[in-house]
């Protein structure tokens, strides 16, 4: 049986694969069945990697994680109604963090909208404020045995425009793209011969005008209605560029610091090194290394002799982890230059200068300025590594010395874990071939305050700093970073509430490749991050418990077993180090009880 829906799904997904899309994440549904079945066939042929998730929110964040790691958009497929709405949190994070993402939402045909039809809502425009580009496509009306008809050619152009927009073409910022796909019955049929024959090409032709130039999708023949297109997010007019396209050269003279926020990457360290400037690097920046790195930066920014003398800040990435950096960037007396990254532009003081590229004027480094920061940094650095055993005492023939050394060693082994010890252990166990994902929990701020410099790949959803989707994002990162047999473990460090918020992400479809993921949960039984906010000084304890701390008594061990994860519970540093350094073959949950 032929089905226009199936032929259209085949044309669109095949064209996306041609454009470099390698991952599809889908949630089951009736209206989206043609897309799902075509994706399954493309997976069978080795054309893409398919990941099935029961929950659309989990699916969205899994695709977000893949996009974070690969910088290519993954496709999310879902059915109509609330299924599409569940993709909004991932779309918002993708918008603010600049992560490429393709949302394919199946829909009822236009004549069923607004008339009370089942599972039907207004899906076109649902993601408009965040979408780099969106299109409400025409209902497929024709079957296409050759893959070269007008409908297939239109979808080829749509695929090209969708991938380009997701990668930031025309907006300078990658992000989400929404294609709304209305289908009529029959919702599925035989796969078209040009797709199903093993070894056949995945091309669906090229749409040209009489002069041979490609026709834009909006100009193509549309027999079933107008193709609605929209664009949102960050536009060209919002982002001024250097008139001649050359890098902006930073002159020497002003007392300068380089500030690296989330997703800044190694370029921040390179700029600090080139300028001879102190580097303030958040733990989620991917730039927390190098000789210019400043330890204990929060206290130093409050120091009038250091933070109080800053005249210029060069920002890369999205700083979000401290009020001190937010205050610095909002200070009207400080000149702020922000390197454009993939996400939302930064302008907290209303006068920040955006730059596409930056260079440093040749000349002498201000050694007095840099030296002040580095001396203060050395004094502020923290060494949380366990003390080495007293080898002389342990081997001493003097009983008192030997017994004292044994007691000290036993005390170190049995010492309970606190938050600084936890973040230090995870940081030390992670290496360049691994990935480290921080949840938006209290622990990321503790890590930002205490861990040292190390060049490792770090991820965090700091576009909106929500706690939702942390596990799903990390699993997406693991799937992408471990593809083709590449080594490494993806570790996730988060609090118990962030973990419980995304517990559905622990459910993986049978038969799919199992990523090497180690989820480390600091479990203090509730949201103690509120201890550090003003509300803790004014609210009654009962009210704090009821509406902010939200204490719980969930058994994480039972959850792990229910979802098929390995489980371990660590109460001492030695137990934790052993868990973190033992081989990880699949999915593992490590629970670390913490005091309230």
Question: Read out DSSP for 531-556?
Answer: GGSTHHHHS-HHHHIIIII------H
The pLDDT value recorded for residue 548 is 79
* 517 contacts 487 by C-beta, under 8 angstroms: no
Chain segment 23-74, per-residue pLDDT in tens: 999 999 999 999 999 999 999 999 999 999 999 999 999 999 999 999 999 9
Q: In what order do the strands lie in the sheet with 279-281?
A: 279-281, 256-260, 312-316, 335-339, 353-355
How large is the greatest C-alpha to C-alpha distance in the chain, in angstroms? 97
Residue 18 scores a pLDDT above 60: yes
* Of 39-48, 340-349, 534-543, 583-592, the least confident: 534-543
Residue 325 scores a pLDDT above 50: yes
Mean pLDDT of 257-264: 97
pLDDT > 90 fraction of the chain, expressed in percent and rounded: 76
Mean pLDDT of the chain: 89
* Of 169-173, 181-185, 259-263, the least confident: 169-173
H/E run at residue 16 = helix 4-18
The pLDDT value recorded for residue 240 is 39
Rg, the chain, Cα only: 27
Mean pLDDT of 514-536: 84
The pLDDT value recorded for residue 255 is 97
**Higher per-residue confidence, 386 vs 593:** 593
Residue 217 scores a pLDDT above 60: no
The pLDDT value recorded for residue 216 is 41
Mean pLDDT of 456-460: 97
H/E run at residue 458 = strand 458-460
**Domains and their CATH numbers in the chain:** 4-238 (3.40.50.970), 248-380 (3.40.50.1220), 419-593 (3.40.50.970)
The pLDDT value recorded for residue 487 is 96
* Of 98-112, 141-155, 274-288, 367-381, the least confident: 141-155
The pLDDT value recorded for residue 46 is 95
> Coil, strand, or helix at residue 67?
helix
Chain segment 277-319, per-residue pLDDT in tens: 999 999 999 999 999 999 999 999 999 999 999 999 999 999 9
Residue 578 scores a pLDDT above 80: yes
H/E run at residue 354 = strand 353-355
* Of 67-76, 134-143, 377-386, the least confident: 377-386
The pLDDT value recorded for residue 205 is 45
The pLDDT value recorded for residue 212 is 35
DSSP strand pairing (133-136 vs 228-230): antiparallel
In the Cβ-directed half-sphere of 562, how many Cα atoms lie within 13 Å?
10
The Cα–Cα gap between 325 and 463 comes to 16
* Of 232-246, 329-343, 496-510, the least confident: 232-246
CB atoms within 10 A of CB 327: 14
Chain segment 538-575, per-residue pLDDT in tens: 788 888 777 777 888 999 999 999 999 999 999 999 99
Mean pLDDT of 379-395: 80
pLDDT tier at 225 (50, 70, 90 boundaries)?
Answer: very low
Burial tier of 85 (Cβ tally within 10 Å: 0-12, 13-18, 19+) = middle
The Cα–Cα gap between 349 and 326 comes to 10
* Of 62-66, 106-110, 121-125, 233-237, the least confident: 233-237
Chain segment 412-456, per-residue pLDDT in tens: 677 889 999 999 999 999 999 999 999 999 999 999 999 999 999
The pLDDT value recorded for residue 245 is 58
pLDDT tier at 530 (50, 70, 90 boundaries)?
Answer: confident
Chain segment 72-88, per-residue pLDDT in tens: 999 999 999 999 999 99
CA distances from 274 to 286, 378, 390 (A): 18, 21, 43
Q: In what order do the strands lie in the sheet with 566-569?
A: 458-460, 435-438, 490-495, 517-523, 587-593, 566-569
* 163 contacts 73 by C-beta, under 8 angstroms: yes
Burial tier of 399 (Cβ tally within 10 Å: 0-12, 13-18, 19+) = exposed
pLDDT tier at 229 (50, 70, 90 boundaries)?
Answer: low
**Whole-prediction pTM value?**
0.90
Residue 237 scores a pLDDT above 70: no
Give, in degrees to the nearest 5, the angle at Cα 107 between 106 and 112.
165
């Amino acid at each position: 049986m032929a089905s226009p829906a199936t032929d259209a799904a085949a044309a669109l997904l095949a064209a996306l694969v041609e454009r470099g899309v390698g991952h599809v994440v889908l949630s089951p549904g009736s209206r989206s069945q043609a897309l799902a079945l075509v994706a399954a066939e493309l997976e069978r042929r080795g054309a893409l990697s398919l990941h099935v998730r029961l929950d659309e929110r989990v699916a969205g964040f899994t695709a977000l994680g893949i996009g974070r790691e690969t910088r290519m958009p993954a496709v999310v497929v879902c059915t109509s109604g609330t299924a599409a709405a569940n993709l909004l949190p991932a779309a918002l994070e993708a918008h603010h963090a600049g992560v490429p993402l393709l949302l394919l939402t199946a829909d009822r045909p236009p004549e069923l909208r607004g008339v009370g039809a089942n599972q039907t809502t207004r899906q076109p425009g649902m993601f408009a404020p965040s979408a780099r580009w969106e299109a409400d496509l025409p209902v497929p009306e024709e079957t296409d045995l050759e893959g070269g008809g007008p409908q297939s050619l239109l979808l080829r152009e749509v695929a090209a425009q969708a991938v380009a927009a997701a990668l930031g073409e025309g907006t300078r910022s990658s992000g989400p793209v929404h294609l709304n796909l209305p289908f009529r019955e029959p919702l599925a049929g035989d796969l078209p011969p040009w797709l199903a024959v093993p070894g056949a090409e995945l091309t669906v032709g090229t749409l040209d005008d009489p002069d041979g130039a490609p026709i834009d999708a909006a100009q193509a023949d549309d027999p079933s209605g107008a193709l609605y297109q929209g664009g949102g997010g960050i536009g060209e007019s919002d982002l001024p560029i250097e008139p001649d396209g050359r890098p902006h050269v930073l002159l020497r003279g002003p007392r300068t610091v380089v500030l690296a926020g989330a997703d800044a990457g190694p370029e921040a360290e390179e700029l600090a090194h080139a300028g001879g400037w102190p580097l303030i690097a958040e733990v989620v920046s991917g730039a927390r290394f190098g000789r210019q790195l400043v330890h204990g930066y929060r206290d130093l920014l409050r120091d009038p002799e250091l933070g109080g003398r800053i005249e210029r800040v060069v920002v890369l990435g999205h700083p979000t982890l401290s009020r001190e950096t937010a205050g610095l960037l909002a200070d009207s007396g400080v000149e702020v230059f922000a390197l454009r990254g993939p996400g939302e532009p930064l302008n907290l003081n209303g006068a920040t200068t955006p730059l596409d590229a930056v260079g440093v004027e040749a000349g002498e480094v201000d050694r007095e300025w840099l030296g002040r920061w580095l001396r203060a940094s050395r004094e502020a650095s923290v060494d949380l590594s366990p003390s080495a055993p007293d080898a002389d005492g342990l081997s001493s023939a003097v009983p008192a010395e030997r017994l004292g050394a044994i007691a000290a060693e036993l005390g170190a082994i049995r010492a309970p874990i606190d938050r600084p010890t936890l973040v230090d252990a995870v940081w030390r166990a992670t290496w360049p071939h691994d990935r480290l994902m921080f949840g938006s929990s209290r622990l990321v701020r503790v890590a930002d305050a205490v861990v040292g410099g190390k060049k490792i790949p770090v991820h965090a959803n700091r576009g909106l700093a929500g706690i939702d989707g942390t596990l799903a994002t990390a699993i997406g990162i693991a799937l992408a970073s471990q593809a083709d047999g590449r080594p490494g473990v993806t570790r996730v460090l988060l609090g118990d509430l962030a973990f419980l918020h995304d517990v559905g992400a622990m459910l993986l479809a049978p038969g799919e490749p199992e990523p090497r993921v180690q989820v480390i949960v600091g479990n203090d039984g509730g949201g103690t991050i509120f201890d550090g906010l003003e509300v803790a000084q004014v609210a009654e304890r009962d009210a704090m418990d009821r509406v902010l701390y939200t204490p719980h008594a969930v058994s994480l061990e039972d959850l792990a077993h229910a979802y098929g994860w390995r489980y371990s519970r660590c109460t001492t540093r030695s137990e934790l180090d052993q868990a973190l350094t033992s081989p990880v073959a699949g999915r593992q949950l490590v629970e670390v009880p913490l005091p309230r």
